[in-house]
Amino acid sequence: MAQREFQTEVSQLLQLIIHSLYSHQEIFLRELVSNASDALDKLKYLSLTEEPYKSMPFDPRIDLELDEAAGTLQIADTGIGMNDEDLVSHLGTIARSGTKNFLANLSGDAKKDSNLIGQFGVGFYSAFIVADKVEVISRKAGEEKAWRWTSDGKSGYELEPAERDKSGTTVILHFHTEGKEYANSWKLREIVKKYSNHIAFPIFLTADENEWDEAEKKSVKKRTTKQVNAASALWKRPKNELKDEDYKELYKSVSGDWADPLCWFHTKAEGTMEYTTLFYIPSKAPFDLYQADYRPGVKLYVRRVFIMDDSKELLPTYLRFVRGIIDSEDLPLNVSREILQQNRVLTAIRTASVKKILSELKSLATDNPEQYTNFIEEFNRPLKEGLYSDHANEETLLELIRVKTTKSEGWTSLAEVKGRMQEGQKGIYFITGQNATQLRNSPLLEIYKKKDIEVVILADEIDEFIFSRIEKYQDVELKSVNKASSGDDLKDETAEEKREALTPLLEKLKRVLGEKVKDVRQSARLADSPSCIVSDEEEPSLQMRQMLRAMGQKEMPEGKPILEINPDHEIVKKLLAASNDSLVDDAAFLLLDQALLVEGIALEDPGAFVQRLNRVLRRAV
């Protein structure tokens, strides 16, 4: 029997789980029961839709068997099972890049890492929190052979042929000394009730229980088997029968999250279409929310039969943080992914669900601002993604998102910003970039500060994409201060007078800078700085180009900055009078480079910048 090694990542994950979950040991049972339930879901679906599974007997159940004396616990299911290849790939390697990234990003600081792992589905490997030996005996549905996988959770595992009467999986935990506290039927019952009460399949516990023996007039140990969970599709029950605790417990079992959800929305639709939805908003964003292989967390059921849980069709991508259940009465059971994409019933459910979720969030914002702030801290960004992709709900999304501004360090709504507009102000202004502090100090804001006009600070990398496409909030225009023509509020009454004096300098600067700039113009937006850069209306800003390049985009539309010069600045006034050409040459580049630097844009030739700076300094000292 050959010993096989774990993939490096598996060993890493195992170490982490064992060392960081000692205060949450009991979750091992939730994870294993949830795997068993998934395996039953998969076979149940096949047994309703596909031969040969349709003609195979199927008695879905999960059996926990405790042997106190031996210190072992079996978790057996009658589900889909695994063959040798499945065992190797599912229990010996990590395929998902999300998980790999998660591991790569760990700090090595045990405390921080154990907080992180709380948001991460630990799954099967949690068995090793309580056991120093784990056996898995499994037989795949429709196959004759069974296999035994054995491991101590350290070096690797062994795989050998085995026997099993029926298809399904049995996991046998050999508790280590500390884990022995779970070799206790009372404790196991409590844990099942706490985490797995609403698993849709019956869970039985077989153990030696104390029972009163009438004949012997004393309590004796008897081997008994009892169902320990309620096994009801909780979402089908009327709302008034459900307590908060029921909802929270179901959330934990469907999401794998340990924390309570932030809130939930339970809806039953009747009429032309019948369906039930129960949506949860997590209290924390999952660690891999922004990764490509993120798995959305809404499960699709048809008449209480689980169909699939990773379909991207159930809700739009921007709502991928929502967890929960959609249970339809009208869809066919054997609905495939391909069919789902164009299914009218599902499209209607999806549209109604999005409306429902957004309107509930709107109510939350009014009724419970504190909770809404928590929501925004975690999920503002996905909502903004919705502004890009969901035009039908643009108006609602603009009400839901929150922003920071030059006048508010905390979150504020566009409605509030609109409410604070000045008499006669022509639009709501925003500045985009990648660093809020940098943006707050940008010279582009000087004139707005001077005129006491509030400017929205948008520092998410996606903001420029999104907000450059949105023209209005209600009836007010949204205008980017990074753009050349940014608004009627900037009119400088004395601009014409200054132009005559400034023009020769502008032309000289343009000549010196040549290809580096699109234009050199007189600015109306600067107070304390001599220069700034803006972009042409139709072009992506330099920050956006920098970001696209970092993301690997090679083809980029032409785009050069427009350099704006402050006619009232002392340096500029002195330059107007300067006759020394080499000084003006240096100044031209320094005015451009400092404007780039302050916007967080890397200089093409930092060496040349430093040389020029030193030449000018030498003159000054």
Query: Residue 17, interface with ligand ADP (CB under 6 A)?
Result: no
Residue 156 dihedral angles phi and psi, to the nearest 5°: 175, -150
Residue 380: both structure tokens together: 């503002």
Of 165, 186, 166, 233, give the one whose Cα is nearest residue 26.
186
Query: CA neighbours within 13 Å on the CB side: how many for 598?
Result: 19
Contacts of 225 (CB under 8 A, 6+ apart): 63, 204, 205, 206
Query: Residue 204, interface with ligand ADP (CB under 6 A)?
Result: no
Q: Which helix (H) or strand (E) holds 406?
A: none
Is 565 buried (19+), middle (13-18) or exposed (0-12) by CB count in 10 A?
A: buried
Query: Residue 39, interface with ligand ADP (CB under 6 A)?
Result: yes
Query: Residue 124, interface with ligand ADP (CB under 6 A)?
Result: yes
Residue 350: both structure tokens together: 């999806």
Which lies closer to ligand ADP via its Cβ, residue 128 or residue 175? 128
Query: Residue 169, interface with ligand ADP (CB under 6 A)?
Result: yes
In single-letter form, the type of residue at position 44 comes to K
Question: Which of 14, 27, 82, 383 touches ligand ADP by CB under 6 A?
Answer: 82
Considering only the stretches 64-72, 78-86, 348-356, 367-375, report the one whose residues sit in contact with ligand ADP under the rule CB under 6 A.
78-86
Which lies closer to ligand ADP via its Cβ, residue 118 or residue 123? 123
Of 133, 135, 102, 95, give the one whose Cα is nearest residue 16.
102
Q: Evaluate whether 88 touches 82 at the Cβ level (below 8 Å).
A: no
Question: Which of 80, 254, 326, 502 touches ligand ADP by CB under 6 A?
Answer: 80
Q: How far is the CB of 115 from ligand ADP (least distance, A)?
A: 20
Q: How far is the CB of 39 from ligand ADP (least distance, A)?
A: 3
Query: Residue 123, interface with ligand ADP (CB under 6 A)?
Result: yes
Which lies closer to ligand ADP via its Cβ, residue 43 or residue 400? 43
Q: How far is the CB of 383 from ligand ADP (least distance, A)?
A: 27
Query: Residue 172, interface with ligand ADP (CB under 6 A)?
Result: no
Q: Max alpha carbon distance in the chain (Å)?
A: 118
Which lies closer to ligand ADP via its Cβ, residue 77 or residue 489? 77
Q: What does DSSP say about strands 297-302 and 403-405: parallel, antiparallel, or unpaired? A: unpaired
Q: Evaluate whether 250 touches 233 at the Cβ level (below 8 Å).
A: no
Q: How far is the CB of 130 from ligand ADP (least distance, A)?
A: 15
The DSSP-derived string for 520-575 is EEE-SS-SS-SEEEEB-TTSPPHHHHHHHHHTT--------PEEEE-TT-HHHHHH
Q: What does DSSP say about strands 3-5 and 62-67: parallel, antiparallel, or unpaired? A: unpaired
Number of residues lying near ligand ADP (CB under 6 A) = 15
Residue 528: both structure tokens together: 């304390």
Question: Which of 90, 100, 362, 418 touches ligand ADP by CB under 6 A?
Answer: 90
Closest residue to ligand ADP: CB criterion: 123
Q: How far is the CB of 277 from ligand ADP (least distance, A)?
A: 24
Strand spans (E) along 78-193: 131-139, 146-151, 156-162, 168-175
Q: For residue 502, what are the CA distances in angstroms to 36, 515, 522, 574, 583?
A: 77, 21, 8, 11, 17
Which lies closer to ligand ADP via its Cβ, residue 103 or residue 348? 103
Q: How far is the CB of 156 from ligand ADP (least distance, A)?
A: 16
Q: Evaluate whether 78 touches 166 at the Cβ level (below 8 Å).
A: yes
Query: Residue 411, interface with ligand ADP (CB under 6 A)?
Result: no
Query: Residue 288, interface with ligand ADP (CB under 6 A)?
Result: no
Query: Residue 173, interface with ligand ADP (CB under 6 A)?
Result: no
Which lies closer to ligand ADP via its Cβ, residue 26 or residue 77? 77
Which lies closer to ligand ADP via its Cβ, residue 141 or residue 588? 141
Strand spans (E) along 68-193: 72-77, 131-139, 146-151, 156-162, 168-175
Considering only the stretches 1-9, 117-125, 502-510, 523-531, report the one whose residues sit in contact with ligand ADP under the rule CB under 6 A.
117-125
Considering only the stretches 73-81, 224-232, 276-284, 502-510, report the one whose residues sit in contact with ligand ADP under the rule CB under 6 A.
73-81
Question: Which of 28, 53, 79, 262 touches ligand ADP by CB under 6 A?
Answer: 79
Query: Residue 36, interface with ligand ADP (CB under 6 A)?
Result: yes
Instruction: Using only the alpha carbons of the chain, give its radius of gyration.
Output: 32
Query: Residue 121, interface with ligand ADP (CB under 6 A)?
Result: yes
Which lies closer to ligand ADP via its Cβ, residue 189 or residue 295? 295
Query: Residue 35, interface with ligand ADP (CB under 6 A)?
Result: yes
Q: Evaluate whether 308 touches 314 at the Cβ level (below 8 Å).
A: no
Q: Evaluate whether 406 touches 439 at the Cβ level (below 8 Å).
A: no
Which lies closer to ligand ADP via its Cβ, residue 47 or residue 594? 47
Instruction: Return d(Cα 255, Cα 34) in angstroms, integer.
Output: 10
Residue 545: both structure tokens together: 């180009």
Considering only the stretches 1-9, 34-42, 382-390, 513-521, report the one whose residues sit in contact with ligand ADP under the rule CB under 6 A.
34-42
In single-letter form, the type of residue at position 616 comes to V
Q: How far is the CB of 8 from ligand ADP (least distance, A)?
A: 16
Provide the binding-site residues for ligand ADP, judged by CB under 6 A. Answer: 35-36, 39, 77, 79-82, 90-91, 121, 123-125, 169
